[in-house]
Structure 1
Amino acid sequence: MSMPVRTEFAQRMAFEGRLHVRFEAAAAAPDDAQLQALAERNAHLLGAIALLEERRAERERDEDGAMAQELARLDAKLSLLIEIVNRLLAPAASLPPRQPVRFNGLGAEVPAALVPADAAQGRLLLHFDACPALPLELACRVEMAAETAFLAFVQAGEAVEEGLDRFVFRHHRRKLADVRQSTA
């Protein structure tokens, strides 16, 4: 696993938190058609997550007026339906355990215990809280370290890399806003 990818990963902003995470080792690297299918599915999922998170952020704003109240009521109903579907599709018991993870558009760092010692490649599955039933599946190469494994994403596609970086930026921006709000 090339040091330049890991170096660039370390220099970029990254999401750091605990998500439902699983690694599936693979004997062979996926072919181009499989990578393309993964990239398309992941790009759509990242777009859906962005919309779901945007709707939650809008709900948190205080707005006046009958129209805003009606929209908030409809949004709450839609959020409830989404939550019900998520629970039906992926009960909490079927999700992998939460693990500390750090990722951006280039790769991810996960606890080494998640990755078999002899694994050279595989898929990282990230279950986001906004949509736990549909994991983001990222083909990756493995670079082991003492306590962490670095997983360099393989041909994730430009849309997925940008989507992951936007996700990271949104979460970073929310953390800053929370800090400012708590100190005000």
Structure 2
Amino acid sequence: MDEPTGPLDEGIVYRATLPLAWEPVAAMPAPEIQSQINETNVALLAMFSVLDEHPVESKGGEPEVIQALARLDTKVSLVLELVGELLRHQLALPKAFPVALSEHGLSWIVEAPSAPAMGDLVRMDIYLKTSYPRPLRCWGEVVSLDPSGRGVKIAARFRGMAEDMRDGLSKLIFRHHRRLIASQRTI
């Protein structure tokens, strides 16, 4: 199927095929529930930021300390990868869809019969890192439905997202974009 493009794809966009669970809902959660979920999402995005960090290489100083930190980083990464693998086997991750994620919303492509209706409110669980299978939970309003190959491209504009969550999401998208550009330069 085609990659998502549309009204929410302006600016820097995180494009990938990611596990995504979504369902139409009647209303937004109560404000206190929404606040708790936003806090959980902010913590998750901050953790992804830490997981994305790589040890800084120093040209001077103590090479043995730098090497020890690099070895420790490798060991911690291995433990996290193994724990993530165990969790993936315990949890049933949802089906992966081609998605385009911006700080304003999400678009994804599904088979036509399973698409929500225009204007529907949907709850979305987005698994941004399958090595750490914990979803970012968001709500959005379906703002467009476009035929795409054998499916439908759905675009949902986020609703009820706290500003600190939007900032964390924006940083994650920028880091992904920066790594993509860097990998293209090395080719």
| TMscore range, shorter length | 0.7 to 0.9
Q: Which runs of 5+ in 1 are unaligned?
A: 1-5
From 85, 88, 102, give the equivalent of 2:100. Answer: 102
Q: Is the 8 A contact 1:108 1:151 kept in 2?
A: yes
Q: Which runs of 4+ in 1 moved over 4 A?
A: 61-64
**Bigger helix share:** 1
Is the 2:9–2:100 Cα contact (8 Å) retained in structure 1? Answer: no
Displacement, 1:131? 4.6
1:175 counterpart (180, 183, 186):
180
In 2, are the aligned partners of 1:42 and 1:160 still within 8 Å (CA)? yes
* Counterpart for residue 141 of structure 1: 141
CA distance in 2, matches of 1:99, 1:62: 40
- Assess if the C-alpha contact under 8 Å between 1:112 and 1:144 holds in 2: no
| 1:29-50 residue CA offsets vs partner (Å, 9 max, x unmatched) | 2121121111101000000001
1:161 aligns with 2:166: yes
Q: Which residue identity lines up with residue 63 of structure 2 in the other structure? A: G
The 8 Å contact of residues 15 and 104 in structure 1, kept in 2 or not, is answered as yes
Extract unaligned runs of 5+ from structure 2.
Answer: 1-5, 147-151
**Which letter maps to 1:162?**
D
Deviation at 1:132, TM superposition (A): 3.1
Alignment match, 1:3: none
Matches of 2:103 and 2:48 in 1, distance apart? 15
Alignment partner of 1:47 is 2:52:
no
Residue equivalent to 2:31? 32
1:76 CA drift (Å): 1.3
Rounded Cα–Cα distance in structure 2 between residues aligned with 1:127 and 1:117: 20
Alpha-carbon distance in 2 for matches of 1:122, 1:157: 17
TM-score (norm 2): 0.81
Q: Percent identity?
A: 26
Structure-1 residue corresponding to 2:88? 90
Q: Is the 8 A contact 1:25 1:116 kept in 2?
A: no
Taking the aligned partners of 1:167 and 1:40, their CA distance within structure 2 comes to 16
- CA contact 1:23–1:124 (8 Å) conserved in 2: yes
> Is the 1:122–1:139 Cα contact (8 Å) retained in structure 2?
yes
Asked if the contact 1:30–1:139 (Cα under 8 Å) also holds between the matched residues in 2, the reply is no
Q: RMSD value over aligned CA atoms? A: 2.5
Q: How far apart in 2 are the matches of 1:34 and 1:109?
A: 25
Say which SS state the counterpart of residue 81 (structure 2) adopts.
Answer: helix
Structure-1 residue corresponding to 2:156: 151
How many angstroms apart in 2 are the aligned matches of 1:97 and 1:11?
26
TM-score by length of 1: 0.82
